[in-house]
Structure 1
Amino acid sequence: MLKQGRQWADLSIARTTPALLGLFSLVILVAHHLQNSQKFSIRQAAWYAKPLPTFVDAITLVRQSLWSSTFSMSHSPSDMVKIPRALLERLTDTLGYAA
């Protein structure tokens, strides 16, 4: 019996699984490349110390790298709103983990 909807069909699983594995691999490779040139912070809770970065830390590093290059350029001076760099970094850090 073939279940329909919500990716339960065998063909849709066969398409989705390799795509997710490829996306996961791409994020890990980009994060590995970025960790040599950028500060790579591992977010930890007070009650749980992580010895190594997790996928969440890796995808956050990739997101922050993409967003910092996107937010640093303005095509028109009228579109620019100046905010302190510390606030921008805090926003990208928070959004990187929340998204």
Structure 2
Amino acid sequence: MPVGVTGIIAIFVRRWQVEVIFSEVRAHLGVETLRKWSDKAISRATSALRGLYSLIILRTGDLLGQGAAPYAAEWRRKSNFTFTDAFAAVRRRIWGGYSSDTLLHDRETPKIPPDRLVRMADALCFAA
């Protein structure tokens, strides 16, 4: 069955989306080559990582339902989450409960200004 130019582009775009997802899963969840592992270890690790991936995606769905938008630079607005964005959004929501009072127990130590703490947490969500 011959495929036209638009069909080839559509196939490429679909494949690209899948490749990006797998690339991000490898980068953020540690799914790498498992050649030297035993069969039992592979099945345990792969199942656990797939479960973690599923939990992140489910939690991201909850965040989207609450109106969360993917993080983007001012000059580039995003309408969809990548896995990196999803992972960072879930981290940010988890870390959002911490304040400078939680982080600094010594009253003689100057507190981190709340706006700076928020910016640091936003940056660390993508770096961790």
Shared fold per TM-score greater than 0.5 = yes
SS in 2 for 1:74: helix
User: Is the 8 Å Cα contact of residues 95 and 121 (structure 2) preserved in structure 1?
Assistant: yes
Structure 1 match to 2:91 = 63
Taking a change above 3 Å as real, the CA distance of residues 23 and 81 of structure 1, as seen in their structure-2 partners, is: farther
In 2, the alpha carbon distance for the partners of 1:17 and 1:37 equals: 30
2:55 to 4, 26, 38: 26
Taking a change above 3 Å as real, the CA distance of residues 83 and 6 of structure 1, as seen in their structure-2 partners, is: farther
If the length of structure 2 is used for normalisation, what is the TM-score? Answer: 0.57
Structure 1 residues 1-99: aligned runs within 5 Å: 8-37=37-66, 39-43=68-72, 52-71=80-99, 74=102, 78=107, 81-99=110-128
Pairwise CA distance, 1:31: 1.4
If the length of structure 1 is used for normalisation, what is the TM-score? Answer: 0.70
User: Is the 8 Å Cα contact of residues 70 and 79 (structure 2) preserved in structure 1?
Assistant: no
Query: Superposition RMSD on alpha carbons, in Å?
Result: 3.1
Taking a change above 3 Å as real, the CA distance of residues 66 and 6 of structure 1, as seen in their structure-2 partners, is: farther
Higher helix share: 2
Structure 2 unaligned runs (5+)? 1-33
Cα deviation digits, residues 8-45 of structure 1 (max 9, x gap): 2111001111111100000111111022335323336x
Identity among equivalent positions (%) equals 35
From the CA coordinates, give the structure whose radius of gyration is larger: 2
Larger RCO (CA within 8 A; separation ≥ 6): 1
